[in-house]
Structure 1
Amino acid sequence: MASNKNSRLTGSPYAQEDSNEISESRKRQSKKDEAIRRKIEKDLSKKKRNNAKSTRFKKGTPGSVLALKPSESIICRTTSTVYEAAQLMSTKRENCLLVVNDAGELMGIFTAKDLAFRIVGSGLNANSVTIDQIMTPNPMCANSNTPASEALNLMVHKKFRHLPVLDDSNQIVGILDITKCYSQQMERLERMYLSSKKLYEALDNVHSQIGFTEQSSHIAEYFEHLKDKISGPRLETMLDNSTAPIYATIKTSVYDATVLMKDNNTTAVLVKDTNDEVAGIFTSKDVVLRVIASGLDPKNCSIVRVMTPQPDVANCGVSIQEALRKMFNGHYLNLPVTDDEGEIVGIVDVLKLTYAVLNQIKQLEHSETDNNRNETRAISQGEGPAWNKFWTSLDNEETDSIHSDSFQGSKFQDLTTPDLQTFSTELAPFDSVSHITTPLKSESSFKVSTSDFVFKFKSPGISGRVNRVTFNPEEGIISLRNLIDAKLHWKDKAALKINESEGETYAISFVDDEGDVVSITSDVDLIDCVKIYENLRKNKVEIYIHNPNEPAIIPQEKREIIKGSRKKNLGIPQEFILPGALTVLATSILIGITLSRK
């Protein structure tokens, strides 16, 4: 039976369990997940599938929805079974897909939560139910040229996590995930905040030396205000009846656990062991990958087999922003919250926390517009300058996005309808926090070449042997693997210790411009790899072939060389262009005043 009694987490500091053991249990589960994905990919590759061509779209107008770089949309036919949809979602590492009919018309949207609640929680068979029976039909969509803040404002107001994006011809461009949009934007704003703070300190020093009384601090003050506003709310402010933890036991079946989720309108349950301590967490995301996509029977599978052991927790006193950063870095959607005694007092999800922070940003104008009625009215509608500044400070990346096939003639509720106009904002396409009409380019805005690129890798089984393959990265990861396969010797395969009978294949990794080892598992990863090295002014990249269950062995000095190349790169990141320009200006002022005194 499930319990609602608060409990401590096994493995927390209060339980005195070795953290290394916790780490190992998570690693084992991660390896199992990767093995499941590889097996699914192998199964899908054997089936006759409609191969979707990748479509490359031009960069969007600054301030538009397309400038937010919508994620690649995962397409599923209405005739597909829920089981097939779960497999597709698992291999693509997404929890949402768009549903189209045979004519390519957009018919609906389907999420991991739908699968958990409408299939498993309702006792239906995923192998016999088709996707059109349980999808959300006729989803509201955004036009790619719609102002970004309008679309995001609508998502916050209506509590959408996903919003399909179409172009002027009703072709699917991609899909917006508000949690990803927020995560990307916060990373940029944090960098801009640090740069603006350094700029302010430098200018303050110059002003004090030349006797200026006025200080150009508005940029630093804006980011300081924004940072304080976002960092202010604590997790404890998010706890209410809807976040109360729901418990199940290790013997509870997946079906019963999912019914608990459905009845309590939550996407996660905590799992107690025989000592009545929390041993793991089970979520709707696990239902998709570890249960349905794996072909398990929810009624005959206990959650101890498919749960995530020893979940991370956060104290109720940490800020919402800190909690979100923890979740983004850990790639999980639910986070248990503990009090000062270590008792679990709630579970929060990434979407609820994202809404909370965005609502804080929408209220940022209150301290800035007390004397302006028009702006005050804009605040009440979430349309003020801080809301616009937050989204328009996204750098204008020129790198084109790769998306799946576009489909015409979609039946949808357009975002330009009166329903959306209720949430119209004052955003102009070229608005920015620094009011510069020409958008600045960031380090990541270097355009990926469409020509051939060289990939070099050492033989895993033959010492001293180096292989080179040359191909167009737009051809995708499968083409790269085919070229690598042609180069591999039987000794290489033996050295890799790959169990091909279980669908295993070698992993591909590279060292990025920060010295980190990054896996290449998709077409998007491949494009990112090439983009990074082209941005470093290199025409080839060294990749590493290794066993998927083992890390790539790369000398630290090799990582430092790549990391050092980034520092020598002549490209200037966006966050340093404005500070650099103003520093030059301040220096010029200093020189001018010095000369005038002579």
Structure 2
Amino acid sequence: MIYSIFTCIWNRGLTGERTVKWLRLSKALTVPETTSIHEACHWMATRRVDALLLTDSNALLCGILTDKDVATRVIAREVNLEDTPVSKVMTRNPVFVLSDTLAVEALQKMVQGKFRHLPVVENGEVIALLDIAKCLNDAIARLERAAEKGKAIAAAVEGVEKHWGTSISGPNTFIEALRDRMFRPSLSTIISENSKIVTVAPTDTVLMAAKKMLEYRLSSAIVTVENKPRGILTSKDILMRVIAQELAPDSTLVEKVMTQNPECATVDTPILDALHYMHDGKFLHLPVVDRDGVIIAIIDVLHIIHAAVATVGSTAGVNNETTNTMMQKFWDSAMTLTPDDEENTHSENSLKLASEGAETGRSLPHPSLTLPNTFAFKIQDKKGRMHRFNCETRSLADLLTAILQRVGNDIDRNNLPQILYEDEDHDKVLLALDSDLAAAMDHARLAGWKGLRLHLDYSGATGRRWGSGSKGLDYAQADAWASAYSAVAAGAALVVGLGVIAFLRRAGN
């Protein structure tokens, strides 16, 4: 019976049958194609989005407008924003997927098509947008968590090897190798000698920068002084800081609207670290300098993906067909790993606007798989990385279990921290009892919050161990920590069991 249960879970995990609904979706903003470019840009800036979907007279999807389109097709070509409908500059008939499309298939479309945004349609109407940058970060985070769990699997497999007198590779070997070969090498391995880069001076105008971006078909320009980066101007900056502020591109200097002193990577920076820099800093373009600080390239998420896959293919000596399937395997591996850690971060309600900017009176709800007793949380680890997750809120032990699964290596079991959450006044409120968590959930839902920011506090935790038998709140917290550690241990045992089952199946074959 146990074998059958394990086999069922394992087979279900390997099928990769997660649909687009499991991915991190962004709200979709749609307007009629007859809307003026000026009004479309106004809505993009107001809603802080970098892509807008357009519909025809039958309310069907007919186009997409991105911040890059605004910079290169509108500003660079000096198109009149007020009098020109957005249909003149949009990308017509964009590729889209249905909400029940397999997640792996949707992501593969984005990689092959080299586009960041993918509309999601349900019952003929647009409900959300996929952003590959967010999906890539989630996939890498999932693989990193799986690699940690792989240590437990490796230990179990080692025991099986000794018993059977054979040698096998653990179930996570392929996953770890794929991740390491694609994202562990340094940026020097994916930057070509003739990398395209747009450089401008601080005193150049935004119009001059946009024309150069159009010429090189890029969405960013590096502002340099003596070949050293002093700023960066992206297509999103042009949208948000120039058009939204009603500034004239032909007279506005780049130095007035650029992002000053951007974070840069070096040629020795690992690809994985570069991706973390971009995610943590919430930017999509990363300048790369040589060992003398001279700008040599600028990379974005799509650049990294394609370059990493090509690098893997060339170093492995495989053919083009095999290389083209590497990213498929990467997404498939990420989708099928750690189902217990799934983060159902669905989109907010998508917004559909009339041509005059008024709301139509109804939004397009995105089907939610979130259970009523779950809530969203985020917590920062010691390396400064933010972890976002959904978890059960029936008890404090549920929350502590989820925290251990994310940042367990940061927590000293001999000196357990208190758990605090941040309220609307940025005060940190103690979560010591189940009732505290229930009160926090009630308060958050009444306030319309989408999640809670958590903090680990060691100021009052000196010498407190779980199961130590302390009284009052300390005792309640200790009991919750003990339950959490037990739950994590049980989860690890399940993972080990899956590893053993996988070995037995292979041995049987």
Task: Normalising by structure 2, report the TM-score.
Answer: 0.65
Q: 2:145 aligns with which of 186, 191, 205?
A: 191
List runs of 5+ in structure 1 lacking aligned partners.
1-60, 371-375, 408-443, 452-512, 521-532, 544-551, 588-598
Question: For residue 379 of structure 1, what is the aligned residue in structure 2?
Answer: 322
Matched, 1:357 2:301: no
**Matched-pair contact (CA < 8 Å) for 2:54–2:62:** yes
Give the CA deviation at 1:268.
Answer: 1.6
Question: For residue 108 of structure 1, what is the aligned residue in structure 2?
Answer: 63
Matched, 1:391 2:335: yes
* Distance of 1:535 and 1:139 partners within structure 2: 49
Judging changes above 3 Å, is the alpha-carbon distance between structure 1 residues 121 and 62 closer, same or farther for their aligned structure 2 residues? same
Q: 1:153 aligns with which of 99, 108, 123?
A: 108
* Distance of 1:377 and 1:276 partners within structure 2: 37
* Distance of 1:537 and 1:584 partners within structure 2: 33
Question: For residue 181 of structure 2, what is the aligned residue in structure 1?
Answer: 229
**Matched-pair contact (CA < 8 Å) for 1:207–1:215:** no
* Distance of 1:536 and 1:199 partners within structure 2: 36
Listed one character per residue, the Cα deviations across residues 140-185 of structure 1 (whole Å, up to 9, x for unaligned) are: 2112222222222222122122111112x22213122222111111
**Matched-pair contact (CA < 8 Å) for 1:249–1:272:** yes
Question: For residue 404 of structure 1, what is the aligned residue in structure 2?
Answer: 350
Question: For residue 538 of structure 1, what is the aligned residue in structure 2?
Answer: 438
Aligned residues: 396
Question: For residue 50 of structure 2, what is the aligned residue in structure 1?
Answer: 95
| Structure 2 SS opposite 1:115 | helix
Judging changes above 3 Å, is the alpha-carbon distance between structure 1 residues 137 and 389 closer, same or farther for their aligned structure 2 residues? same
* Distance of 1:212 and 1:84 partners within structure 2: 70
Listed one character per residue, the Cα deviations across residues 289-314 of structure 1 (whole Å, up to 9, x for unaligned) are: 11111111111211111000101111
Give the CA deviation at 1:568.
Answer: 4.0
Judging changes above 3 Å, is the alpha-carbon distance between structure 1 residues 294 and 232 closer, same or farther for their aligned structure 2 residues? same
Question: For residue 580 of structure 1, what is the aligned residue in structure 2?
Answer: 493
* Distance of 2:371 and 2:272 partners within structure 1: 32
Judging changes above 3 Å, is the alpha-carbon distance between structure 1 residues 538 and 120 closer, same or farther for their aligned structure 2 residues? same
Matched, 1:172 2:126: yes
Give the CA deviation at 1:517.
Answer: 5.4
* Distance of 1:573 and 1:354 partners within structure 2: 38
Judging changes above 3 Å, is the alpha-carbon distance between structure 1 residues 287 and 558 closer, same or farther for their aligned structure 2 residues? farther
* Distance of 2:350 and 2:202 partners within structure 1: 40
Give the CA deviation at 1:356.
Answer: 2.8
Give the CA deviation at 1:287.
Answer: 0.4
* Distance of 1:577 and 1:225 partners within structure 2: 27
Judging changes above 3 Å, is the alpha-carbon distance between structure 1 residues 75 and 222 closer, same or farther for their aligned structure 2 residues? same
Question: For residue 136 of structure 2, what is the aligned residue in structure 1?
Answer: 182
* Distance of 2:218 and 2:109 partners within structure 1: 23
- Counterpart of 2:322, as a letter, is I
Question: For residue 198 of structure 2, what is the aligned residue in structure 1?
Answer: 246
**Matched-pair contact (CA < 8 Å) for 1:446–1:535:** no
Please tell me the root mean square deviation across aligned C-alpha atoms, in Å.
Answer: 4.4
Kindly report which structure 2 residues correspond to 1:52-451, keeping only aligned pairs within 5 A, or say none: 62-101=17-56, 103-167=58-122, 169-201=123-155, 204=158, 213-214=165-166, 218-240=170-192, 243-273=195-225, 277-357=228-308, 379=322, 382=325, 388-393=332-337, 395=339, 396=342, 401-404=347-350, 447-448=371-372
Judging changes above 3 Å, is the alpha-carbon distance between structure 1 residues 73 and 253 closer, same or farther for their aligned structure 2 residues? same
List runs of 5+ in structure 2 lacking aligned partners.
1-15, 354-367, 376-417, 426-432, 445-452, 462-472, 501-509
Listed one character per residue, the Cα deviations across residues 384-442 of structure 1 (whole Å, up to 9, x for unaligned) are: 755532333374556764331589xxxxxxxxxxxxxxxxxxxxxxxxxxxxxxxxxxx
Give the CA deviation at 1:350.
Answer: 2.2
Using the aligned pairs only, state the percent identity.
26
* Distance of 2:95 and 2:479 partners within structure 1: 42
| Structure 1 SS opposite 2:44 | helix
* Distance of 1:365 and 1:316 partners within structure 2: 19
**Matched-pair contact (CA < 8 Å) for 2:75–2:207:** yes
Give the CA deviation at 1:519.
Answer: 8.3
* Distance of 2:149 and 2:224 partners within structure 1: 46
* Distance of 2:338 and 2:495 partners within structure 1: 20
Listed one character per residue, the Cα deviations across residues 166-209 of structure 1 (whole Å, up to 9, x for unaligned) are: 12x222131222221111111111111111124423664x669x
Give the CA deviation at 1:566.
Answer: 12
Give the CA deviation at 1:214.
Answer: 4.9
**Matched-pair contact (CA < 8 Å) for 1:196–1:223:** no
**Matched-pair contact (CA < 8 Å) for 1:335–1:348:** yes
**Matched-pair contact (CA < 8 Å) for 1:78–1:132:** yes
**Matched-pair contact (CA < 8 Å) for 1:446–1:534:** no
**Matched-pair contact (CA < 8 Å) for 1:73–1:173:** yes
Question: For residue 393 of structure 2, what is the aligned residue in structure 1?
Answer: none
Judging changes above 3 Å, is the alpha-carbon distance between structure 1 residues 221 and 270 closer, same or farther for their aligned structure 2 residues? same
* Distance of 1:151 and 1:377 partners within structure 2: 21
Judging changes above 3 Å, is the alpha-carbon distance between structure 1 residues 195 and 67 closer, same or farther for their aligned structure 2 residues? same
Listed one character per residue, the Cα deviations across residues 548-575 of structure 1 (whole Å, up to 9, x for unaligned) are: xxxx9x99579999xx799749689999
* Distance of 2:191 and 2:74 partners within structure 1: 29
Question: For residue 417 of structure 1, what is the aligned residue in structure 2?
Answer: none
**Matched-pair contact (CA < 8 Å) for 2:175–2:333:** no
Give the CA deviation at 1:381.
Answer: 5.0
Give the CA deviation at 1:223.
Answer: 3.0
Listed one character per residue, the Cα deviations across residues 47-103 of structure 1 (whole Å, up to 9, x for unaligned) are: xxxxxxxxxxxxxx9422222243221222323332332232233332111112354
